[in-house]
Amino acid sequence: MAQDLGLHRSSFQNQGLSKAEFAGRKRLWWSAYVIDRFVSASVSRPMTISDADCDLEYPDEAEYVEFVHTIKLSRIVGEAHKALRSPKFQQLPDRKARTENTCRYIQQRLDEWRNDLPPQFRLTDKELEQMFQPGLLDPKLKSKLNSGAGQFHLAYITVCLMTKKHLMCTASYYLEIARECQKLIRESVYILSSTHLESLLYSWCFSSFFLSEALGVIFLICRISDPEIASEARGFCESLKKCYGYLEKITGQPSVIPYIEVLLDISSRASGSSSQDAIQENQKLEYDSLAESIDGIEWGGSVFPSSY
């Protein structure tokens, strides 16, 4: 509907609109754009909006700084979603090499986006290390986490997981990628435990996007032959259950807790169903077959047995 109304074209500026009206239409269009990107990525469906069809500039960054940086991240989400999840891409004979190149490019774009964030919205490496230190969290850091920095870093983690998940399914160094994902999920758990969870409700579709990516990665990590890595991954599931259980009480959304519990059950069975050597030997082949089945919140339908 937004495109039918022409909200994506800058020519609106020449249709007798006041400056305030045109600014409002820009915000409306870019809101639709952000939702399109996050929802499409969350449920692994084609995007409705093509970047090539839109020539509308961003809203005023001085006034809407958080919104503009969310739009910029949404563009990266769209690039990753289109490049890594298209059926044609999955069928390319050199898909593995292309996946690695694409993931490197997306990661570079993500790091540039993160570095471009204003200081009040960007968590430094030192601040991230501080979150893992024992004892009470510095009140200034906790305030920063709850003033946008926590949400933006969680968004950064989500898109990182979206790309690294594909690397873990195709790269020969998948154990290294698994450990990187483990670190990112660990950061997200600390952020979730240190922020007011109500702040995530500004965009429930984003919260779903994080859940789908985190669970997809955790599912793969749980099947790794390293028992220490797999055990911590299952612990992450327990932390996510607490977080989303709290959010569901506020929103009244359908519960995802049974979904997480099924994932825990299946991953536990998989890790104990055969010897560790057999799991490791067949893991790369299994991951390759899972590559097309773990995108979006509905990936579980492709992986879970019919008994569930």
Q: Please, what is the average pLDDT of the chain?
A: 77
Distances (CA, A) of 53 to 3, 5, 30, 35: 9, 13, 13, 17
Per-residue pLDDT at 161 exceeds 50: yes
Mean pLDDT of 156-169: 86
- Of 47, 1, 8, 41, nearest in space to 26 by CA: 8
Per-residue pLDDT at 204 exceeds 50: no
Place of tokens 């570079």: 108
Percent of the chain topping pLDDT 70? 75
Place of tokens 């773990």: 294
Mean pLDDT of 118-131: 91
Burial class of residue 75, CB neighbours in 10 A (0-12, 13-18, 19+): middle
Most confident of 107-116, 127-136, 137-146, 163-172: 107-116
At 156 the pLDDT is: 94
Per-residue pLDDT at 151 exceeds 80: yes
Write out pLDDT tens, residues 12-24: 666 677 788 878 8
Write out pLDDT tens, residues 46-57: 888 888 878 778
- Separation CA 164–CA 78 (nearest Å): 16
φ, ψ for residue 59 (rounded to 5)?
-60, 170
Measured from the Cβ of residue 227, the count of other Cβ atoms closer than 10 Å reads 10
* Local confidence band at 264 (pLDDT 50, 70, 90 cut-offs): confident
